Amino acid sequence: MLEIQHLTKKYRKLLANDDLSFRVQDGEVAVLAGPNGAGKSTAIKCIAGLLRFQGSVTVCGHPNKSVEAKRLFGYIPEIPAPMESLTVREHLEFIARAYRVEDWQKKADVLLERLELEDKQKKLGGELSKGMQQKLSICCALLPEPKAVLLDEPLVGLDPHAIKELREMMEELRARGCSVLVSTHMLDTVRQVWDRALIMMNGKIAAERTRREMETGGESLEQLFFSITEGKGEELGSDSVHSA
């Protein structure tokens, strides 16, 4: 489980995340949506332990910056950053050794095949296209079979085959009890997958719904998104991100 309590992040005077609290249960896919500048990437980077913040984040009960937590979560950043001088295969070997992944060669083969990178294994990180870098980033995050996965705009730049595979991978992660938090603008693409929707606006969670609540209320994810972001929603401020 991912548990976020009172997460607050300021960039100097800019309050980018304002007291966020939510959970992503085991076997649940939570989608984090919101307009540009709402604070989604900042939240994901804080949860991944890449930024300093106030509040607490735990991964399966472990503080997010602990070694125990880092063993348990995978992170797919918005902008992939492969190592220029390692090949695709060497990236996976590096991850396998760092995380002590058993039987990693077979698991790597499956991931590479699913994301159509099997013929790119000898290419260097610096020689990959943006989409290939993104696919490699997904393979690296999923190879250790994490218990929680953070995906920051993972669909941008992927071809239709990879989008379909990633969607199926999210469903498989959920089926094996993983907590998945995915930030995206492509609401249509995650329509089949999400269990919990978190709509961010002005650095806050402006609305949180489970799929069941939405289905009961007859509301779609898009309707909720526009009702919040076009000013007809709940508890909103007027600026896109407010200063402290």
Chosen residue from 28, 42, 64, 135 binding ligand ATP by CB under 6 A: 42
Give the residue among 180, 141, 192, 138 at the shortest CA–CA distance from 162. Answer: 138
Smallest distance from ligand ATP to CB 25, Å? 23
Using the Cα atoms of residue 153, residue 23, residue 144 and residue 115 in order, give the sign of their dihedral: negative
Are 26 and 202 in contact by the 8 Å Cβ rule? The answer is: no
Chosen residue from 4, 34, 95, 138 binding ligand ATP by CB under 6 A: 34
- How many other CB atoms sit within 10 Å of the CB of residue 233? 16
Q: Three-state DSSP class for 90?
A: helix
Smallest distance from ligand ATP to CB 193, Å? 19
Chosen residue from 4, 33, 38, 69 binding ligand ATP by CB under 6 A: 38
- What residues numbered 104-163 form the site for ligand ATP, per CB under 6 A? none
* Alpha carbon 208 to its chain's center: 17
Q: Given the complex with ligand ATP, which of 143 and 200 has the nearer CB atom?
A: 200
- What residues numbered 6-25 form the site for ligand ATP, per CB under 6 A? 11, 14, 16
Q: Given the complex with ligand ATP, which of 42 and 179 has the nearer CB atom?
A: 42
Q: Is residue 69 exposed (0-12), middle (13-18) or buried (19+ Cβ within 10 Å)?
A: buried
Q: Given the complex with ligand ATP, which of 31 and 95 has the nearer CB atom?
A: 31
Q: Where along the sequence are the contacts to ligand ATP (CB under 6 A)?
A: 11, 14, 16, 34, 36-42, 241
